[in-house]
Chain A
């Protein structure tokens, strides 16, 4: 299904690409804005018994536009001794990683940007590009805080990349495919011992995998229990110390957009993706063509709902827990998460072969 037909008219390739790319931009920026306003501005404030932004618009809902307007007017300072070209390119690399990541997310039966057979592979590979950007930022700033922050970030991201990769293998074993679209269809059309009431979301069997995946996501995003790379009480602002103006905001946007995209991916792998797995809802099971047109509209909304729930959990943890120490962080990854996920893989494999 590579020819995208809208209102019955086949579009030329350039128009398809333009639509895809615009869709991708919306899929990156809209969740990022929603997450920042709803969770970072409002939920955090309410959890700390304060109101948060209230001036711009009703309940401060226009605050985001005010923020962008403010950041656009900030001076762009780059230190004299910095490696200027790398310094300027680093935020773009981090943002690029987010866009590449969203390219693989399916939003509905026909509403996807790319349909890779090695989608899981691609997702894992692309998500580590942001590490490069962060290392570039930390190194090129010629600042001790930045360098330490960048190195910490790299050490943390590679340590938690492994549990993430290993926890996804359980899902791949169960689905028998690495195509994210197929994984979604499988979850919605499978049945549990002949009962197809709720499909078969993999969280039921891969609960441990889901838990490990969410912890790894939290660490990959450097959200609070794992925020040593930007620990403000130790490293000022880590690898972002020397950044100001709009380049700083690009780091910020990329961080929250990536939180949204990782939540989307978690919902695809474990929660059934764009499908509502309720056959009593009146919709035919996924894969049959009766529901296709419905789900191209409903799918993105369902994905958005699942994303908001998962990012809500990520942010809830972020606002609730104090920071780990660096040694605790590495110990947790290497001595707990990796052995547990290896055991999880073997158990899943044994059960797959047995049933």
Chain B
């Protein structure tokens, strides 16, 4: 296996140790802890009164709009990083290119701003 892939395999081990470690601790806890479930205890917590309606209530659409805006800027970051590592080679050409790119992006942000989407009402 190449060193490149091996490095990524190490990541899998790190994920595994997190699960293993937590499982061991939870296992120890399972031996030590009491387990006396009752209907009241397992009720959803709503400040001590009986829960009203469904726990999965509807939520605001604004979370969705912010998520969309996030995708735009995050994809942009994917383009900027490779450019950033090679800037010394691209020099002025790369600078002008990225200047135009960032300007267009800023236009998008300004558009959202003017539309009042960034206001959290």
Contact = CB atoms under 8 A, between A and B. Distances in A.
A53 to B, nearest CB: 22
Contacts of B33: 72-76, 245-246
Nearest to B86: A176
A297 interface: no
Contact of B44 (A24, A142, A155, A353): A142
A86 to B, nearest CB: 12
Interface residues of B, number: 71
Interface in A78-105: 78-82, 91-92, 95-96, 98-100, 102-103
Chain A CB count within 10 A is highest, among B14, B22, B42, B102, for: B14
Interface string A11-55: 001000100110011000000000000000000000000000000
B55 A143 contact: yes
Point out which of B26, B42, B43 has the most chain A C-beta atoms below 10 A from its C-beta: B26
A247 B26 contact: yes
B86 to A, nearest CB: 8
A246 B25 CA distance: 8
A75 B36 contact: yes
B111 interface: no
A259 to B, nearest CB: 17
Contacts of B45: 79, 143, 145, 236, 241-242
B95 A103 contact: no
A221 interface: no
A120 to B, nearest CB: 7
Interface of A: 2, 13, 17, 20-21, 24-25, 71-82, 91-92, 95-96, 98-100, 102-103, 113-116, 120-121, 124, 139, 141-148, 151, 154-155, 158-159, 161-162, 165-166, 169, 172-173, 176-178, 236, 241-242, 245-247, 250, 326-327, 330-331, 334-335, 338-339, 342, 345-346, 349-350, 352-353
Interface string B46-62: 11000100111101000
A72 B26 CA distance: 8
Interface string B1-34: 0010011101101111111011101101110111
Given A176-B88, A345-B102, A353-B91, 15 more contacts: A25-B17, A73-B33, A76-B29, A77-B41, A79-B44, A92-B19, A96-B19, A99-B18, A113-B10, A144-B44, A145-B45, A146-B55, A246-B29, A331-B119, A342-B102
Given A147-B59, A339-B106, A345-B80, A172 B85 contact: yes
Contacts of A96: 15, 18-19
A72 B25 contact: yes
B42 A80 contact: yes
A73 B98 CA distance: 57
A48 B90 CA distance: 54
B77 A165 contact: yes
B102 A2 contact: no
A113 B28 contact: no
